[in-house]
Structure 1
Amino acid sequence: MNSIWNLVHPWIAFQKKRKAINFEEEEKNVEYNKIKIFIGTWNMHGKLPPPNLAPFCERPSYEAPNESGDRPYCSPSAEHPYHLLVIGTQECQHNISHSVFFPSKEIWENRLCEYLGHSYKLVKTETMAALHLAVFVWNKCVDWIIDIQHASVATGIANLFGNKGAVGISILFGYTSFLFINSHLAANKGKLKQRNCNVKKIQRELKLKGFNKTDKAQDVTDRFDYIFWFGDMNYRVNLERAVVDEYLEAKDIQTLLEHDQLLEEMKNNTIFKNFHEAPIGFTPTFKFDITDHEDYRHSGPIPHCLSSPAIVQPPPAKYDTSEKNRVPSWTDRILFKTRIPGKDARVIRYTSHMDVLGFSDHRPVTGVFLVDFDWNRTVNHRQNAHPLQLISKKDNSIISYFSYNHGNNSSSILSCDDQASNNS
């Protein structure tokens, strides 16, 4: 199989059969008492994307009307704004070996901040080698951030090196706690048991204590209300390459998913117990040939091929044509769970982005979720935030700075513009 650009997605019937989660269509009206969350995962193959991050994450183009004073309600559509915007990357900015010694992701962070502009504020980032996690909050609800934690776990060479592992950030948003985990698990089709061991090690050793004294579960994913675990999971399709190509040509995604290692392990409760995944309605996101055309190296804005049909599209994406001939697989995933009885995450969108430029052998995956949240109850908790006024050393301008203390760990929230200026 040489091209997937002409594939359509005839798997709606299959999606309806998946009953693990509450998967609903987008709606146009404002829904109250909800938080809308954007999750994105992208293995960047040790490179930086161009400044225009569309279609992975569209640039904010408007602000939804705030109809009820200080309560930041917004439409449950798949577009901006999101109350929380979370982006996890693997092999970010540099390749893995380089990142072990030079882990800074300052260029990537600045690019995110410049791209998102005034609509969002950067809450926290966590970096380990080539892994990076960034959490942004919509500027209308910064005051609801009460506390922040962050940690990482290495599962790489000898379980000590950060070439593989996970980075995590937890936040207390009003009275509701969230945990976001970005992981890069053991590679290669035959490393299934090692991947499972990676998952269990992360659950056991990610040192995020929760925000309540009663949160003492051994599994870190049992200490928070809503958990989103995503990244390059590296689980593969248990079929030979020729067979997979035939199913892809026939557009038979359902049969391929029946041989997906991650779905099999979750079905057997081997790993990710109580986690869910939205129905997959996209082709495998790995492994693609790398496109090394000079056109892809420019730093200017990139036309969105869907919104600009008159512009020549990128060459057709090709799955691995090297001697290794790797099996196309859904390595890039977003999982979620909740510990609140009767509450669940409602999936608005779960998709891949095949039309990004081919500088990586992966394609990014994004999801948009709605979770229950009582904004009226939260107003009382906002009094715990104490805004300070700081002076920028660069131009003596005032910076809005919010400081929250959790034990000896102090976290801060800066606007994207301030983050960029402070790093310049």
Structure 2
Amino acid sequence: MTDFLLPESIKYVQNIYVVGTQENAMNKKEWEIHIQEILGPTFVLFHSVTHGSLHLAVFIHRDLIWFCSVPEDDIISTRAVTMVKTKGAIAISLSFFGSSILFINCHLTSDQSRKKERILDYQKIISGLKLPRSSTSTSKDATANFDCVFWCGDLNFRIDRKKSAVEGKVTEITESSIPNYEDLTRGDQLTKTITEGKIFHGFQEGRINFRPTYKYDVNSDNYDTSVKSRIPAYTDRILFRSKKKNHISCLHYDSVMSVMMSDHKPVYGIYQMAVKPGRDFVMSAAGNFDRDVYLKANQRRALRLATSEVKNQKSSTICSIQ
């Protein structure tokens, strides 16, 4: 998880960390404590929301929580009748200084051939979200109510090519001295659907220059060897949109190959966002955060560091120089 939250390629910690997961079987409170433990005491869990196996958490540098509005959240289920809540979307909105921000985490319909259902899922989400609560907008797209929108999740769009062709291309690209995955993304369903204007209007995405993140054999870097033999694809994505041009820029976009607990490889993005001056009439969150998660995580962190220090002392030896 450290490779995912604090990758070595990034020199600085960020001001805000937003973590969205799908099919997360871990106890949600334990998951939040685990993230908090890794980020350390300079960050706090500002708000989180969960729906079945979907989870979304916003961690903010503790010096900046005084400049946030009271957070709001909403849940959209894209399956009409189901006991297992695995598909749908969850969202958190807030104002940071004077900029309104919406974070969305989703899990859309799976299967190679069900592209139309994924488009319908998207439409149901943008029309069903009721954020911000105070909005009087008549727009059928809730994302239009915000200055900045970040949308992540398992969008489940696939690559329309044969598996052997995709795997062969991946091998060819990874062995190249300058890897370039543009040939693969030409067959990407999501890219094509956006270009056709059917989905994610006005959204952008960082340049994909990493291997398809789906589907792997668990605890390996091998693509699916099961009977279903699924075609590798870029199912896991992060898209963003700002009302004003160039108010969001993607600085880094990558996947983490070292994470092997899932049949997906996690994707992360680093973004720079222009922030408008604060507004006095916005209801402040008054520095509120999840203190229980903060205390438990930092107690564990302190114990782990102390245990590690003791082990290092026991394993040290005296070196004599002649």
Does the pair score TM above 0.5?
A: yes
Check whether the contact 2:47–2:290 (CA below 8 A) recurs between aligned residues: yes
Cα distance change, pair 384–323 in 1 and its aligned pair in 2 (3 A): closer
> Kindly tell me: are residues 245 and 373 of structure 1, through their superposed partners in 2, closer, same or farther at Cα, counting changes over 3 Å?
same
Q: How does 1:384-423 map to 2 (within 5 A)?
A: 385=284, 387=286, 402=288, 412=289, 414=291, 416-418=293-295, 420=297
Q: Indicate the residue corresponding to 1:120 in structure 2.
A: 43
Contact 1:124 1:135 in 2 (8 A): yes
Map residues 187-206 of structure 1 onto 2, 5 A cutoff: 187-206=110-129
What's 2:2 paired with?
54
In the alignment, the residues of structure 2 paired with residue 130 and residue 80 of structure 1 have an alpha-carbon distance, to the nearest angstrom, of 31
Q: In 1, distance between residues paired with 2:83 and 2:205? A: 29
Please show how residues 337-376 of structure 1 align to structure 2 within 5 Å: 337-340=241-244, 342-356=245-259, 358-374=260-276
Q: Distance in 2 between matches of 1:177 and 1:415?
A: 27
Residue 329 of structure 1 aligns with an amino acid whose one-letter code is A
Match of 2:223 in 1: 319
Which is further off, 279-288 or 159-168? 159-168
What is the rounded CA distance, in whole Å, between the counterparts of 2:50 and 2:13 in structure 1? 25
Q: CA deviation at 1:80?
A: 3.7
Change (3 A) 1:383 1:91: closer
Residue 152 of structure 1 pairs with residue 75 of structure 2: yes
Amino acid at match of 1:335: L
Shift of 1:343: 3.8
Verify the 8 A CA contact 2:40 2:298 in the aligned structure 1.
Answer: no
Q: For 1:201, give the aligned amino acid.
A: K
Alpha-carbon distance, 1:417 to partner: 2.1
TM normalised by structure 2 equals: 0.84
Q: 1:200 aligns to what SS in structure 2?
A: helix
Question: Displacement, 1:386?
Answer: 7.1
| TM-score, normalising length: structure 1 | 0.64
Q: Distance in 2 between matches of 1:85 and 1:232?
A: 18
How far does residue 148 in structure 1 lie from its aligned partner after superposition?
Answer: 1.1
Q: 1:273 aligns to what?
A: 201
- The verdict on how the C-alpha distance between 1:421 and 1:156 changes in structure 2, with shifts beyond 3 A counting, is farther
262 and 115 in structure 1: CA distance in 2 versus 1, 3 angstrom threshold? same
Identical amino acids, percent of aligned pairs = 31
How far apart, in 2, do the equivalents of 1:361 and 1:284 lie? 12
How many residues were matched structurally?
293
Q: CA deviation at 1:250?
A: 1.8
Aligned to 2:156: 234
Letter in 1 for 2:190: L
1:134 paired residue among 57, 72, 87: 57
8 Å Cα contact 1:174/1:382 also seen in 2:
no
Q: CA RMSD in A?
A: 2.5
SS at match of 2:63: helix
Offset from partner CA, 1:174-223 (integer Å, 9 cap, x none): 21100000001111101111111111000011121365x45442211101
User: Match for residue 65 of structure 1?
Assistant: none
- The alpha-carbon distance between structure 1 residues 138 and 57, as it changes in their structure 2 partners (threshold 3 A), is same
Distance 1:353 1:382, change over 3 A: farther
**Which runs of structure 2 are paired with 1:205-220 in the superposition (5 Å)?**
205-209=128-132, 213-220=135-142
Matched, 1:328 2:232: yes
- In 1, the alpha carbon distance for the partners of 2:272 and 2:7 equals 20
**SS of the residue aligned with 1:170?**
strand
After the TM superposition, which residues 101-112 of structure 1 pair with which residues of structure 2 at under 5 Å, given as runs? Answer: 105-112=28-35
SS in 2 for 1:140: coil
Q: Counterpart of 2:304?
A: none
Larger RCO (CA within 8 A; separation ≥ 6): 1
